[in-house]
Amino acid sequence: MLYKDHEPGHFHAYYGEYEVIVAIEDGTVKGEFPRRALILVLEWYEMHREELRQNWELAKVRRPLRPIRPLE
């Protein structure tokens, strides 16, 4: 997540030279990722959707973001 980023709420994910942007509200994906990596990102997104919403609100007012656990 980036401070002062544009609406709608979203996060960026990177894998090597690949990048996707995932909308927090509906999981819409823009960009390209290898299939397996995208599946993992979307699994993580589903597990942490509410935390992502909360962090988006914090980012909009430039407050420190709360850590979100990675997949294990």
Q: Is residue 47 part of a domain?
A: yes
What pTM did the predictor assign? 0.90
Q: Is residue 14 part of a domain?
A: yes
**Domain carrying residue 32:** 10-60
Q: Give the count of domains, the chain.
A: 1
Q: Quick check: helix, strand or coil at residue 16? A: coil
pLDDT tens for residues 11-59? 999 999 999 999 999 999 999 999 999 999 999 999 999 999 999 999 9
Please tell me the predicted confidence (pLDDT) of residue 29.
98
Q: Is residue 68 part of a domain?
A: no
Strand locations in the chain (E):
10-15, 18-23, 29-32
Give backbone dihedrals phi and psi of 60, rounded to 5 degrees, phi first: -60, -30
